[in-house]
Structure 1
Amino acid sequence: MAHLDTIPQRGTRHLPPLDKGNYNKRLGMVAVIATFGGLLFGYDTGVLNGALSFISSYFNITPWEQGLVTFVLLIGAATGSFLGGRISDRYGRRAFIIALAVLFFIGTSGSVLSLRFDVLLVFRFVLGLAVGGASVTVPVYLAEVAPFEKRGSLVSRNELMIVTGQFLAFLINAIIGNTFASNPDVWRYMLSVAAVPAFVLFFGMLRMPESPRWLVSQGRNAEALAVLRTMRSPERAAAEMAEVHELAEEERLERLGSWKEVLTTPWTRRLLFIGFGIGIFQQLTGINSMMYYGTQVLEQAGFDRNAALSFNVLNGVASVLPMLVALYIINRVSRRSMMITGFIGTTTAHIGVGLVGILLPEDSLIRPWILLAFILMFIAMMQATIGPLAWLMISEIFPLRMRGLMIGASVLVLWLTNAVVALMFPALVAVMGFGTFLVFAVIGFVAIAFTVKFLPETRGRSLEEFEETFKSGALSSPK
């Protein structure tokens, strides 16, 4: 998550520089192992993209029930993200990530072995709990073990691993689906692959250290210093303990705000409205309708099942490559301009998909290819702009004393909107066909108006500076 680049780094100006010894290799290994949580997040949300049509045939379910398979995972994710922060605060980041690895394995195994549709839904909910817990805990863990010079780049690896997990899900679905298409249990093979990274996460995290920031918050200073010495030079580790203490104090301050204060103070109430809007409109682009149901959409476009599975891999490519571009430019250009450009691009692509899908006859040879081109344009524009920007801006706009409450509420709203879109999309497509994308286009125009009118510019300002200027009204009319 690139947003951690923006956190002001107090007390770091006189720290000894990082050396290039084995300490960096140890830190890199910590990041690799922990981000398997992000990989599982991506794989478990993306695997249904190819598996769902086989699940539908196996259980003979309706379009509404197809949406339910994804919906229960996302409700689980919303629950897991809401509870995950408090659980990791109490028991530790490392311990909770290990528990999440077990939960990923239980959810995967139960889903693979399900003989009844209702049992499958139960274990998809369990997987959702793990996904939601990982979505809030892994970035925090990475931020707390990383030195300030590398915090943004290390934490951003989790975002990259999420879209990589989705890409791998699409690719593996295509391979398994085309190889075992006649086997009614092919969907079980697709889902079972997630057990492998769950094993890696579990056994890998057993060898990883606890967050030094969490250890300090528990008064375990000697252990925190010992952890830092495994990833820093002795001089740097000793000097950095002061920074860890300051970060722990920031965490304490985050818990001082109350909901009463948030809701009764006009400027914080306005910021909460903006945070909710960012989360809602990011999801109402319909991006996850393509991440969850892309294969089904391509089948409706005119490709057969095997071809749809294969071409859906391009959706993954169109997520990963633009995400790399976004991570490069996100701190170099205006947040507002980038967000507005993103909504204009996605809305244009939606109009293209909707009109081509409605106006061109279904037996047209060029119809599937034009639809594929517009779909790829939509995904690439989304992942290069709105996707990462939404998380970044949600992390930037809230005041320190209420940041925990307000980010938690905004992320919860984002997950719930995601769940509603996932539930409704198959049923809407069954009734409206590609006209569904014109509905997304209408919402896109509302999102553009919201962004132009309400979204403040945060680039180039520290979090404290932004808070003071917004509180004074200087950013109330962002231009």
Structure 2
Amino acid sequence: MGLLTLVEDRPTPKAVYNWRIYVLALIASCGSNMIGYTSAFIGTTITLSSFEGEFGLDKMTSDQVDLISENIVSLFIAGAFFGAIFTYALGHFIGRKWSLVVASAVFTLGAGLQCGTKGSSGLGIMYAGRVLSGLGTGVASNIIPIYISELAPPAIRGRLVGLYELGWQIGGLVGFWINYGVEMHMASTHQQWIIPFAVQIIPAGLLFAGALWIKESPRWLFLKGRRTKAMQNLTWIRQLDETDIYITEEVAAIDQALEEQIATVGIGFWKPFKAVAARKAIMYRLFLGCMLFFWQNGSGINAINYYSPTIFTSIGVSNSAVGWMTGIFGVIKAVMTFFWLLFLVDQLGRRNLLLGGAVTGSICMWVIGAYICVVRPEDNPTDKLNGGGIAAIFFFYLWTAVYTPTWNGTPWVINSEFFDPNIRSLAQAATTASNWLFNFLVSRFTKQMFAKMHYGVYFFFAALSFLAFFFAFFLIPETSGIPLEAIDRLFEIKPVWNAHAKLKVQLKEDEEQFRFEIKEGVFGKDAEGPGQAHVENPSPVLASGENHRDAATEA
């Protein structure tokens, strides 16, 4: 299956796969671009001699320097954690579009404060700016996958949500290489370290400008009862008329989901909290979503993102080579993300990617740890890497090439699909916050772990990756090509590894029944037109459970 292969849940007009849906996803992904850049540049920038000299780090002990470095990194992540939590309220009251505007504005303010930091005033302003940019990051990282998944046709949903990950990696690529550029071609002055901080404003500004133009999510508009605007946005995005059967089916599915929400969850800010607490199945799914990010961070990726100089030094790379080798790390991540986006996420499937990535990633980490354990390159420094050191670098880059198209972006795609529209915003806030929580723990203690555990850190990450395989195999179903409204049905089918195939058969049968009802005039015979709320005897393809129209009316 190649680039142009589409696995559709129902016959879909070609017009649905138009330029508008891709442009909307690209604009939203400017937010992930700013996140990726900010996550990548900071670890190397704060090791520049100009930065260390201006703030006196060159006169401190290694423990003091490690503490300041961890504070600069972890305060940003702490802000992202709280930003992800606050996103639920923002998304509920002002929608997806304006949440992106707020995210970019807050991030830009934080980046501006960081650029205003000077050695004479200390690091207080830097810390405040990092918290603010973290808040903006938390909002963006939460709302972007929701926004894209609500707009995307099922056949290319993984590809479009994958643009979020691609933007992250492109930002990271620029972040890794910009430090190499300023270190090689600029004098060790204030301007040398301030440029990487200032570049943060570029993707944030692009997101702010683009977010003012993009369309609000039709699903959110339907939820708020703004049906006229919702239909306008939906037909504009799909490039179809209101009378097209595809639009009729999609709106009917959204209406059915809303009726079910009224009957089972209710409309309101606090209703989803009560519904989630009362439904063990949803609590279990939240657990799975949060644990995906636990295993993702347990692979060691964010330890490498934030402290790449420490990682390469531990393998035995000389200080002069750390910069460009970190840049190669960024290139591999960006290239493999592009490959994942085009050829893997929708074709190979989410579940298979997780399984393959866990096993291969674990093997690579065991090899790297074993090399450091035997050779101890930090205790026996050399000008050039020996054969074993070159092999360790090879396995490090192999780990990067395997991890990137598996555990790096796939958990974000899965979590954007795991939850039905009734509670998606709340669930996304919880799972995204968990990502930043685990991210914070890794960033806060990575340097201390390397100081105490040495090669044991790699064995630690290898063991977690190995355990992640069993987690994914026994607990995570395949979600590719499944309509968001049918996700509940996916989790009702056992065993997990056969659920996807069985549900696809059911959906095909439901689609045939629905079209028969359309042909016979059974469906919507009393409705006034497409997009109306009244639906009689809807086909099962339109619902994730039973028909709750009567209960909804009573509610």
Quick check: TM above 0.5? yes
Aligned-partner residue type, residue 297 of structure 1: I
Paired with 2:283 and 2:6, the residues of 1 have a C-alpha distance of 23
Label 1:165 to 1:248 Cα distance change in 2 as closer, same or farther (>3 A).
Answer: farther
Aligned counterpart in structure 1 of residue 385 of structure 2, from 366, 388, 410: 366
Number of the residue aligned with 2:184: 178
Number of the residue aligned with 1:278: 292
Number of the residue aligned with 1:425: 446
Paired with 2:67 and 2:6, the residues of 1 have a C-alpha distance of 42
Total equivalences in the alignment: 469
Aligned-partner residue type, residue 213 of structure 1: R
Aligned-partner residue type, residue 87 of structure 2: G
Aligned-partner residue type, residue 145 of structure 2: P
- Is the contact between residue 241 and residue 247 of structure 2 (CA under 8 Å) also seen in structure 1? no
- Is the contact between residue 26 and residue 231 of structure 1 (CA under 8 Å) also seen in structure 2? yes
Paired with 1:237 and 1:164, the residues of 2 have a C-alpha distance of 40
Paired with 1:421 and 1:363, the residues of 2 have a C-alpha distance of 27
Aligned counterpart in structure 2 of residue 18 of structure 1, from 5, 15, 19: 15
Paired with 1:230 and 1:91, the residues of 2 have a C-alpha distance of 21
- Is the contact between residue 149 and residue 417 of structure 2 (CA under 8 Å) also seen in structure 1? no
Label 1:120 to 1:250 Cα distance change in 2 as closer, same or farther (>3 A).
Answer: farther
Aligned-partner residue type, residue 444 of structure 1: S
Paired with 1:455 and 1:121, the residues of 2 have a C-alpha distance of 39
1:96-150 per-residue CA deviation (whole Å, 9 max, x = no partner) reads: 2222222221111111212322321111111111111111222333344555665
How many Å apart are 1:444 and its aligned residue?
Answer: 2.8
Structure whose residues are more often helix by fraction = 1
Paired with 1:227 and 1:63, the residues of 2 have a C-alpha distance of 50
Number of the residue aligned with 2:436: 415
1:290-305 matches, cutoff 5 A = 290-305=304-319
Secondary structure in 2 aligned to 1:363?
coil
Asked if 1:154 corresponds to 2:175, the answer is no
Paired with 1:29 and 1:306, the residues of 2 have a C-alpha distance of 41
Label 1:434 to 1:177 Cα distance change in 2 as closer, same or farther (>3 A).
Answer: farther
1:215-250 per-residue CA deviation (whole Å, 9 max, x = no partner) reads: 444444444444456555462687676435743663
How many Å apart are 1:407 and its aligned residue?
Answer: 4.0
Aligned-partner residue type, residue 427 of structure 1: Q
The TM-score, its normalising length taken from structure 1, stands at: 0.84
Extract unaligned runs of 5+ from structure 2. 58-63, 501-555
Paired with 1:391 and 1:299, the residues of 2 have a C-alpha distance of 31
Label 1:7 to 1:215 Cα distance change in 2 as closer, same or farther (>3 A).
Answer: farther
The TM-score, its normalising length taken from structure 2, stands at: 0.74
Secondary structure in 1 aligned to 2:47?
helix
Paired with 1:411 and 1:404, the residues of 2 have a C-alpha distance of 11
Paired with 1:325 and 1:210, the residues of 2 have a C-alpha distance of 29
1:329-368 matches, cutoff 5 A = 329-333=344-348, 335-360=350-375, 361=377, 362-364=380-382, 365-366=384-385
Paired with 2:142 and 2:6, the residues of 1 have a C-alpha distance of 18
Aligned counterpart in structure 1 of residue 87 of structure 2, from 84, 88, 103: 84
Aligned-partner residue type, residue 288 of structure 1: N
Number of the residue aligned with 1:106: 109
How many Å apart are 1:299 and its aligned residue?
Answer: 3.6
- Is the contact between residue 16 and residue 240 of structure 2 (CA under 8 Å) also seen in structure 1? no
Highest CA radius of gyration, 1 or 2?
2
How many Å apart are 1:422 and its aligned residue?
Answer: 0.8
How many Å apart are 1:336 and its aligned residue?
Answer: 4.2
Answer with 232-241 or 164-173: which moved more: 232-241
How many Å apart are 1:182 and its aligned residue?
Answer: 2.2
CA RMSD in angstroms, aligned pairs only: 3.5
Secondary structure in 1 aligned to 2:15?
coil
Number of the residue aligned with 2:39: 45
Paired with 2:201 and 2:70, the residues of 1 have a C-alpha distance of 24
How many Å apart are 1:188 and its aligned residue?
Answer: 1.5
Extract unaligned runs of 5+ from structure 1. none
Paired with 1:233 and 1:462, the residues of 2 have a C-alpha distance of 20
Paired with 1:123 and 1:260, the residues of 2 have a C-alpha distance of 36
How many Å apart are 1:284 and its aligned residue?
Answer: 0.9
